């Protein structure tokens, strides 16, 4: 009797657990009704809910959207739960998130007609083990962005994969407090891009076979400018050799084929302890924004760029003579591992209020110290008759304070 009573209690416990689970999660299977079921779950979810997607291939013709805070969408793995948009007919992206505290994990989005996952205005967003891919290889017709959080804060991208984006595979723009960790970006125009953002860490990633591996940009005519406090550390940036396939007019279309890491118009950027090799144009490029900008608040010249502890090998062996023409015009043969365009404000160029905009610590190759060149493009533009490049590494050696770790507010 006691045993029977105990069995009834255990059975009731399991039933209770099942009821509680059903209140907070929805497991959805592939099939003809899958889109309606997922979108319904996204619309009627409540904070704290888990929307569970089973293993399999989900085929969609329309984009999905979520605007409820603190919801988790989870699959069974980035190669097991696949949301395919190969036949997409409507929607500007695969998944649009406009809420905060959302966690996306363990699924893939493939072949969207536009961006794969767009997040706007989120206070807290996590991408964990997400794969985004255009399976037909690098093409101009691919969507622009893979992971695309903008105007957000406390952005975590961890152990994700981005392949084939015609702009940037992993992109974070106009945001603050950002961590891009342990992820893989390949066969994109830009592998990983941090743009017009504050307080970011790009650590432990691999960027390979992109046009440019890792880009740290600041651009004019955007609501948030003056990107600063960016750490790029312990990344593997190799074999970035894909020809630039960005649609005409995209700013990333100016990225030279075979750029390892590129910093443009940012302040307080630290590049350290990365392995950077086999990038055709150069290993590290520090550049100013060269196009005309009507935005009077925009500063096109970077400052406080600190490069140290990196290992650079076999970069600069085949410079892009179109997109990196100032480099190829100034240097015959192999390009140095680290290149600075040398553009400074006029007051600095004439010797008033000089500053060290680029500071070098020790950087290495397999055979010794890495080389560096300041192209001194200001002099070339203003007084070409006296123009001469400066490749004296010791002129730029020094030490700056390291970028402080990023701490999310919820931490």
Six-digit token string for 373:
């060149």
Between β-strands 368-369 and 311-313, what pairing exists: parallel, antiparallel or unpaired? unpaired
Six-digit token string for 19:
């009821």
Residues ≥6 apart with Cβ < 8 Å to 91: 62, 63, 64, 113, 114
The Cα 362–Cα 393 span in angstroms is 10
Q: What is the pLDDT of residue 26?
A: 59
Contact call for residues 279 and 238 (beta carbons, < 8 A):
yes
- Comparing 294 with 54, the larger pLDDT belongs to 54
Q: What is the pLDDT of residue 319?
A: 97
Taking 60 as the threshold, does the pLDDT of residue 310 lie above it? yes
Helix (H, G, I), strand (E, B) or coil at 4: helix
Average the pLDDT over 157-174 and give the result: 98
Residue 151 φ/ψ, nearest 5 degrees = 50, 45
Tell me the pLDDT tens digit for each residue of 1-31: 444 444 444 444 433 434 344 344 458 999 9
Q: What is the pLDDT of residue 280?
A: 97
The Cα 63–Cα 29 span in angstroms is 18
The Cα 404–Cα 411 span in angstroms is 15
Burial code (b: 16+ CB inside 10 Å, e: under 16) for 56-78 equals bebbbeebbbbebbebbbbbeeb
Contact call for residues 227 and 216 (beta carbons, < 8 A):
yes
Which helix or strand (DSSP H or E) is residue 328 part of? helix 325-330
CA distances from 338 to 123, 138, 334 (A): 36, 27, 12
Of the candidates 226, 204, 202, the one whose C-alpha atom is nearest the C-alpha of residue 214 is: 202
- Comparing 148 with 294, the larger pLDDT belongs to 148
CA 290 to chain centre: 22
Tell me the pLDDT tens digit for each residue of 106-141: 999 999 999 999 999 999 999 999 999 999 999 999
Q: What is the pLDDT of residue 355?
A: 76
The Cα 63–Cα 42 span in angstroms is 12
Residue extents of the structural domains in the chain: 114-396
Of the listed ranges 23-37, 56-70, 71-85, 199-213, the least confidently predicted one is 23-37
Tell me the pLDDT tens digit for each residue of 242-281: 999 999 989 999 999 999 999 999 999 999 999 999 999 9
Task: Please report the DSSP string for 383-406 in residue order.
Answer: -GGG---B--GGGGB---PPPPPP
Residue 46 φ/ψ, nearest 5 degrees = -120, 155
Taking 90 as the threshold, does the pLDDT of residue 37 lie above it? yes
Q: What is the mean pLDDT of the chain?
A: 92
Average the pLDDT over 202-227 and give the result: 96
Q: What is the pLDDT of residue 296?
A: 82
Query: Could you say which DSSP state residue 244 is in?
Result: P
Q: What is the pLDDT of residue 366?
A: 87
Q: Please tell me the pTM assigned to this model.
A: 0.92
Average the pLDDT over 90-106 and give the result: 96
pLDDT band at 70 (very low <50, low <70, confident <90, very high): very high
pLDDT band at 189 (very low <50, low <70, confident <90, very high): very high
CA 134 to chain centre: 17
Of the candidates 175, 177, 176, 169, the one whose C-alpha atom is nearest the C-alpha of residue 193 is: 169
Q: What is the pLDDT of residue 151?
A: 98
Of the listed ranges 22-26, 149-153, 187-191, 282-286, the least confidently predicted one is 22-26
Tell me the pLDDT tens digit for each residue of 321-371: 999 999 999 999 999 999 999 999 988 988 886 678 999 999 999 889 999
Q: What is the pLDDT of residue 23?
A: 41
Task: Please report the DSSP string for 261-308 in residue order.
Answer: EEEES-EEEEEES-EEE--SSEEEEEE---S----TT---S-EEEEEE
Taking 90 as the threshold, does the pLDDT of residue 78 lie above it? yes
């Amino acid at each position: 009797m006691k045993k029977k009573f105990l069995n009834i209690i255990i059975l009731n416990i399991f039933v209770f657990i099942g009821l509680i689970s059903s209140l907070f999660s929805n497991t959805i299977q592939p099939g003809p009704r899958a889109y309606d079921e997922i979108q319904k779950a996204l619309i009627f979810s409540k904070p704290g809910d888990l929307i569970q997607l089973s293993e399999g291939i989900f085929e969609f013709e329309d984009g999905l959207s979520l605007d409820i805070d603190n919801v988790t969408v989870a699959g069974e793995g980035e190669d097991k739960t696949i949301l395919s948009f190969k036949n997409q007919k409507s929607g500007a992206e695969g998944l649009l998130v406009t809420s905060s505290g959302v966690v996306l994990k363990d699924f893939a989005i493939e072949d969207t007609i536009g961006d794969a996952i767009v997040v706007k205005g989120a206070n807290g967003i996590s991408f964990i083990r997400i794969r985004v891919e255009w399976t037909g290889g690098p093409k101009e017709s691919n969507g622009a962005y893979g992971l695309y959080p903008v105007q957000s804060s406390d952005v975590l991208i961890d152990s994700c994969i981005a392949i084939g984006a015609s702009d940037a595979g992993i992109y974070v723009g106009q945001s603050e407090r950002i961590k891009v960790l342990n992820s893989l970006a390949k066969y994109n125009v830009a592998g990983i891009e941090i743009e017009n953002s504050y307080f970011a860490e790009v650590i432990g990633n691999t960027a390979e076979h992109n046009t440019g591996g890792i880009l740290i940009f600041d651009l004019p005519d955007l609501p948030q400018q003056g990107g600063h406090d960016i750490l790029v550390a312990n990344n593997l940036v190799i074999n970035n050799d894909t020809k630039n396939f960005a649609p005409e007019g995209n700013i990333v279309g100016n990225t030279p084929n075979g750029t390892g890491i590129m910093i443009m118009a940012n302040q307080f950027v630290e590049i350290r302890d990365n392995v950077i090799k086999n990038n055709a144009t150069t290993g590290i490029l520090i550049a100013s924004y060269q196009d005309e900008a009507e935005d009077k608040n925009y500063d096109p010249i970077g400052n406080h760029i600190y490069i140290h502890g990196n290992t650079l090998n076999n970069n600069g062996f085949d410079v892009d003579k179109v997109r990196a023409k100032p480099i190829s015009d100034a240097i015959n043969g192999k390009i140095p591992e680290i290149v600075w365009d040398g553009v400074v404000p006029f007051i600095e160029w004439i010797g008033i209020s000089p500053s060290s905009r680029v500071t070098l610590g020790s950087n290495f190759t397999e055979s010794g110290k890495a080389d560096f060149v300041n192209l001194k493009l200001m002099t070339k533009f203003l007084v070409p008759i006296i123009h001469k490049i400066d490749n004296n590494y010791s002129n730029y050696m020094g030490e700056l304070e390291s970028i402080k770790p990023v701490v999310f507010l919820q931490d």
